[in-house]
Amino acid sequence: MTQKAQNTQNPRTDQPVLVIGGTGKTGRRVVDRLREQGVETRVASRSGETPFDWDDRGTWGAALEGVGAVYIVPLDLAPSRTPALVEQAVAGGVGRLVLLSARGADVPGYFGDSYDGTGPHMEGEIAVRASGVPWTVLRPGWFAQNFSEGVFRDGVMGGELALPAGDGAAAFVDADDIADVAVAALTRPGHEGQVYELSGPRALTVDDALAEIAKVTGRRAGYVPVPEQEFVAGLVAQGMSPEEAALWTDAMKPIRTSREAPVTDGVQRALGRAPRDFGTFVRKAADADAWTG
């Protein structure tokens, strides 16, 4: 069967979908949506229903056995494990791959001066593109949920969020939108060979985002911009390795430089609707008691 012929057929619905990283921010949302649609779904992670460990290839075979499609949340470490997984998945009969990548993955300098545009995310993208089966790549920017269930939440709760983000801005994307696009790519035709750049509908500075949260919750955290070296030193003092601390700091560069500010059309192209606004995210998170306690 030619690639063109493969790309025009409907996704299989009689085989399970494997969600790697199925307990994470996007993964668990993908799982919930698939199961709501009646799609048999395997939750794969070190702590999930289906044991899966990126560092233990002995766990991969059982997780992949008999599945028709895979949502891949990769391990963001070099060298990428994704190419080996893709090879094993396709050899085992998987017919569709949806990869969570990252905005700017192909842009030199996006994640710091040393980034040459060929990091682990791009290694994964190259692998799924060359897999010979229908594929879709998602490239989201910074998640709105980082303020409610991620790395920024402690600062919001503590009343002060100190970051090396300067006065830069980002079009924070709702993880619910990412999940909606992933599920569409896993279950409906028309998304094969697409790279979706995913963002929210407007750009906000970190201080803007905190003000939006305060408007709904009454909880006002102050934003404190800190120099990169000071931020790295703080993370190391908390027990993080210097290498990991440097990676975190580099990851902030797209906000600091406002390279995350431009609004992209990925959600509109994939779903035929506008992305969710940050204010909508805040109201939903507040209703779920994200900042209670």
The confidence score (pLDDT) of residue 85 equals 98
Q: What is the block-wise mean pLDDT of the chain (293 residues), using blocks of 10 residues?
A: 42 86 96 97 90 96 97 91 98 98 94 85 97 98 96 95 96 98 97 98 98 96 95 90 87 95 98 98 98 88
The confidence score (pLDDT) of residue 9 equals 59
**What is the residue whose two structure tokens read 């303020």?**
147
The confidence score (pLDDT) of residue 3 equals 37
The confidence score (pLDDT) of residue 198 equals 98
- Distance (Å, whole) CA 198 – CA 221: 27
Buried b (16+ CB within 10 A) or exposed e, 35-71: eeeebebbbbbeebebebebeeeebbeebbeebbbbb
**What is the residue whose two structure tokens read 């431009």?**
262
Task: Give the pairing of strands 96-100 and 69-72.
Answer: parallel
Token pair in block for residue 17: 């979908």
For residue 120, cis peptide bond before it (omega within 30 degrees of 0): no
Residues 6+ apart with CB under 8 A from 29: 175, 176, 178, 179
Say what the pTM is.
0.93
In 3-state terms, the chain is what percent helix, strand and coil (to 5)? 40, 15, 40
Token pair in block for residue 126: 């190259």
- Distance (Å, whole) CA 75 – CA 80: 7
